[in-house]
Amino acid sequence: MRYRLWIYLLMGMMMSIGGMAQEKQNNFEISKSLDIYNSLLRELNLNYVDEINPGELNETAIDAMLKGLDPYTVFIPESEIENYKLMTTGEYGGIGALIQFDGEYTRISDPYEGWPAQKAGLRAGDAILSINGVDAHKKTTEEVSELLKGQPGTEVSLKIKRYGEDKPIEKTLKREKVKIDNIPYSTVFDNGIGYVTLSSFTKDAGNEMKQRLLDMKKEHQLKGFIIDLRGNGGGLLNEAVDIVNLFIPKGQPVVSTKGKAQNSGHIYNTNNQPVDEQIPLAILVDGGSASASEIVSGSIQDLDRGVIIGQRTFGKGLVQNILPLTYNTQMKVTIAKYYIPSGRCIQEIDYSHKKDSTVTKTDTLGKPFKTMAGRTVYEGHGIMPDVKITPEKYATVTAFLYAKNYIFDYATKFAHEHKSIAPANEFKIDDETYRDFMNFVKEKEFSYTTESEKILTDLKTSAKEEGYLESIKTQLDALEKQLQADKENDLIKNRKDIEELLRLEIVGRYYYQVGRIVASLKNDPDLEEAFKILLDKNRYESILKP
């Protein structure tokens, strides 16, 4: 026994000495590298043939260094600090609108209802020609965004070009402290199921979710509750814990963090009494659900408290912290990995072992773990839903129409020609509207290349190089002709998907973000599956059993 004790003590001393030696070696390398860097930058400034900008070179060097780590560890110059505050608070000083670049000008793509842009009459599709007299032509969305933002209460003057108007329109807006809603929409459906769209995890997300749930329970006899985390890229970890706490007892570990620094390891437990431990719960997720969204869905899954429905989540199990640097700069740095109650880490990519800048995801199952009830779950691939819903893939023509803004531009035209439409959940694309859309696309000389056409072109090139082209030219020409004939009917063959995107874009012009959410829930397979499960007690309980 005494011999074992000496062995353990000796091993501990060796590990401690080894750690100290490694730290000493790292400190020497850092000092050496800084000395080399300082002398290099100094000599460049003295000897380079042209004038240099040391600040720009320094930022380039920092970005290149951090790029070798992971995508989440980044340098934040003083000019970008406000943008990072938005991620944690959901607040910024500005006009309250989403924008997008069309190749010439940045356009308003979505004014937030109730904020300066919408109150001043700005519309989706408006092209920004100038901001406070500054020409906005060819300026990126980042550059335009910086010009639009500012201290609440200050004014910003815009000159815009609107569809259907010959002359530019001038608007003067007063900036406000814009707060992006964590919960843009919630409702109780006729079947008694409560529903909440949670779009972010900024400050007070947990309290807001709690209040919505309490209000629903007060006014309705809820048969189930749905949290929609699709497309939610995450946010504050403590808000995720508070939301989980609404459904599980006080004192339950939800997530733990483990990193190199002593203060990076922490266990986050629920601190409050739950609101409802019994209500049937479903969480909707997809490939855009990441970080805090995965803490909520993963811990609910590990604790067998609810059913996860949808597609595999993103797989971001890394924790970041923002550290202050000199000259009012900062660094957002990955300090730890987080682990959910089963003990699994859901991080998809191991950046420490990447061979180059290219990293890929894999469907290979990771290490198995057990939920509280004994169900098998796997590590390293985000959260695998309990009930998988295969999303419909858009045809090539649909993807091109959306990516090249034909759907967006037609919605602008439609809104100019129609003062009002039916309520968001009732509006439909009728035959007349769809014919008008097809004519609009035709007038714009819409063209695209299908995968089949690319393969045929490659086949012709290979056949010519190998000397087969003349003997198969007739067949290839006939195939090309047939492909072109079929392609001309793509707008008709794929009407269902195209008109769904059209419907949502047009609804957004009249009813903004809330209207678009309401319209999107009308034909939602994930939501329909959640209804079936929550209203079927036997099926709900069977999913949560080993």
- Show which residues are catalytic: 291, 302, 316
Which residues have a Cβ under 8 Å from the Cβ of 214 and sit 6 or more positions away? 275
Whether the CB-CB separation of 73 and 320 falls below 8 Å is answered with: yes
- CA distances (Å), origin 447, targets 178, 299, 491: 40, 47, 12
| Burial grade of 306 (CB within 10 A; 0-12, 13-18, 19 or more) | buried
The backbone region for 128, taken as left when phi is positive above 0, alpha when psi lies in -120 to 50, beta otherwise, is beta
**CB atoms < 10 A from the CB of 237, how many?**
20
Q: How far is residue 221's CA from residue 348's CA, in Å, rounded to a whole number?
A: 40
Which residue, 231, 196, 229, 199, is CA-closest to 211?
196
Whether the CB-CB separation of 396 and 451 falls below 8 Å is answered with: yes
Whether the CB-CB separation of 55 and 311 falls below 8 Å is answered with: no
The beta strands (E) that lie in 340-417 are given as 368-370, 376-378, 387-388
Q: How far is residue 359's CA from residue 348's CA, in Å, rounded to a whole number?
A: 10
Strand 253-258 to 193-197 pairing:
unpaired
Q: How far is residue 137's CA from residue 143's CA, in Å, rounded to a whole number?
A: 11
Strand 193-197 to 224-228 pairing:
parallel
Whether the CB-CB separation of 291 and 257 falls below 8 Å is answered with: no
Q: How many residues does the chain have?
A: 546
Q: How many CA atoms lie within 13 A of 525 on its CB side?
A: 9
**CB atoms < 10 A from the CB of 111, how many?**
26
Which residues have a Cβ under 8 Å from the Cβ of 412 and sit 6 or more positions away? 123, 124, 125, 163, 509
DSSP structure string for 249-304: -TT-EEEEEE-SSGGG-EEEE--S--S-SSS-EEEEE-TT--THHHHHHHHHHHTT
Question: Mapping DSSP to helix (H, G, I), strand (E, B) and coil, where does residue 495 land?
Answer: helix
DSSP structure string for 24-72: HHHHHHHHHHHHHHHHHHHHHHHH-SS---HHHHHHHHHHHHHHTT-TT
Sequence-ordered alpha helix ranges (H) in 68-172: 81-89, 116-119, 141-148
